[in-house]
Amino acid sequence: MKIFLSFLQSDKRYPIPAYDFWQRYIKNGIEEAGHEWVECPDVDWALGLVPKSEADQLKWKAEAWAKTVAWLKKNRVDVFLSYLYPNQVDKSAVKEIQKSGIPCVNFFCDNVREFRKIPSEYGVFDLNWVPEHKALKMYDSAGYKFIHLPMPVWVAPADRIIKDEVYHQVTLLGSKDIQRKLLMAEVIKLYPDIPLAVYGSGWKKETGPADAGTQGQTLTKRLQNQFSFVKQYGLNAYNNKLRNRNYSYETDDSILGKYKGDHQIEEYKVLTAASMITVGINRYPSFHFPIDRPDTYSRLRDIEAPMLGACYLTEWTEGIEEMYEPQREIALYHNAEDFVEQVKELISDHKKRNMLKVNGQKRALSEHTIPTSLNKLIRTLGI
C-alpha cells in the first residue's frame, strides 16, 4: 500500500505550536505496518499554519495544492492521508484527487478544542480520522464520514520495554497553561509534601492580567477587538473571558517550587517511563467553558505514556474507559482530591505501580498503534 502524506511536513522551524513530531510518528508507523509513504517534496505543509494575511494564505494554499495535484497525476498512490486544519483544505483540489480514484482521509486531533461544529471543509473527505470520543457526535450531526481511531503515536521498539523506577517522583511533563496551573495548585494545597516534579516550558514566565495587552489601545481598537472575538467565539465565550481575565495573574505559584526545568525528547521518554508515577491532564483552557468547570478530552499522552511503560495516572474523560481498564491498566482521577488519593495509594503500592506499567503498555501496544489503525482504515475504505 502506497500512502501519500500531507502531515504538517516541513524542513523549517516556525513559531507555532509543536508540529514536527507528527510526521515522525506517522512515517515510522506506516513503515512498521509494512506500507510505503510518499510525499510531494516541494510542499511545506506546516507553512499553512503560520499566521499570515488572508491573501498570503490563499496564495500558499493555491501553490501547495497545485503542486500536490500535479505530483499525484504523475505518481500513482493508493490513499491520500492528511492532517489539515480547515483553512489548509482546498475542496476542489481534494475532489480532483478523488476523481482519479484516490480516496482521501483527514486526521484532526483538536476537534473538541477548536470547534463547536465541524467545519464544512472536512465534509469533502472520504473519511475523517477522529481520535476524540467527544467529537463523534459532532461528525455524526454534520453527516460527514468518520472513523474513531486513537491518536497516531509511534514509539521506537527500543523504548517498548518496562524500565525500573529511577525517579521516585510524580512527574508532570508539559508546558504551562492556566488549567494545569490551577489543578496543581489545588493538589499542592491538599498535599504540600507531594513529590511532584514539573518539566516543561513557560512555568517560570509570569504575565500580568489576561487583558494587560489592551492597555494603551484606543477605545475604537478595543471595541473592534471585542467585536472580532464575539464574532469568532460567541457571546458566551466573551462573558467567560471577562470573568476569567485575572486568573492567570492571581493564582498561587506554589507549583514553582516543584519546577525542574525544560526537557529534551530523550529526557522526556526516560522521565515518562522511569518515574514512580507519570501524570496526564486532560482539561484544557477554553473561553467556551467557565475556568472552574473546564472541559476535557483524551490527549496524545494517554497513548504515548502507556506505550513507553509508564505507571500512568490521567484525568477521566469521556471514552477513556473504552481505551483502558481503570486500576488495572491505568489509574484515573476526577478532581484534585481524587488525584491526591490516587497518588498516595500508588506511592504505597509498588506492586500496583508495576502492574499498571506492564498492563497499560500491553494494551496500548496491542490495540492503539498506528499499524492497527491503518488496517482499520484500509478495511473501512475497502481497498
pLDDT over 70 (residue 189):
yes
Same-domain pairing of 187 and 261: yes
Same-domain pairing of 10 and 79: yes
Longest dimension (CA), the chain: 63
Same-domain pairing of 239 and 260: no
Same-domain pairing of 148 and 115: yes
Same-domain pairing of 181 and 303: yes
Same-domain pairing of 86 and 200: no
Same-domain pairing of 77 and 142: yes
Structural contact between residues 225 and 214, judged by C-beta atoms closer than 8 angstroms:
yes
Among 245, 270, 296, identify where a domain stops. 245
Predicted model pTM: 0.89
Structural contact between residues 81 and 6, judged by C-beta atoms closer than 8 angstroms:
yes
For residue range 66-85, list pLDDT tens digits in order.
999 999 999 999 999 999 99
For residue range 341-380, list pLDDT tens digits in order.
999 999 999 999 999 999 999 999 999 999 999 999 999 9
CB atoms within 10 A of CB 41: 9
Going from the C-alpha of 122 to that of each of 27, 44, 86, 368, 382, the distances in angstroms are 23, 21, 7, 24, 20
Among 192, 221, 245, identify where a domain stops. 245
> Would you place residue 94 in the very low, low, confident or very high pLDDT band (cuts 50, 70, 90)?
very high
**How many domains in the chain?**
3
- What is the CATH classification number for the domain harbouring 337? 3.40.50.2000
* Greater model confidence, 335 or 205: 335
pLDDT of residue 83: 98
pLDDT of residue 62: 98
Q: Which has the closest alpha carbon to 87: 45, 41, 25?
A: 45
Per-residue buried b or exposed e for 56-83, using 16+ beta carbons within 10 Å of the residue's own CB: ebeebbeebbeebbebbeeeebbbbbbb
Q: Write phi, then psi, for 350 (nearest 5 degrees).
A: -60, -35
pLDDT over 80 (residue 114):
yes
Same-domain pairing of 143 and 180: no
> Would you place residue 243 in the very low, low, confident or very high pLDDT band (cuts 50, 70, 90)?
low
Cα–Cα distance for residue pair 15/369, rounded to 1 Å: 29
pLDDT of residue 213: 46
pLDDT of residue 205: 61
343 grid coordinates = 497518588
For residue range 134-179, list pLDDT tens digits in order.
999 999 999 999 999 999 999 999 999 999 999 999 999 999 999 9
Same-domain pairing of 108 and 172: no
CB atoms within 10 A of CB 9: 20
Same-domain pairing of 184 and 276: yes
Same-domain pairing of 198 and 114: no
pLDDT of residue 229: 46
Residue numbers of the domain that contains 228: 212-245
Among 245, 266, 295, identify where a domain stops. 245
Q: Which has the closest alpha carbon to 177: 194, 202, 213?
A: 202
Same-domain pairing of 6 and 70: yes
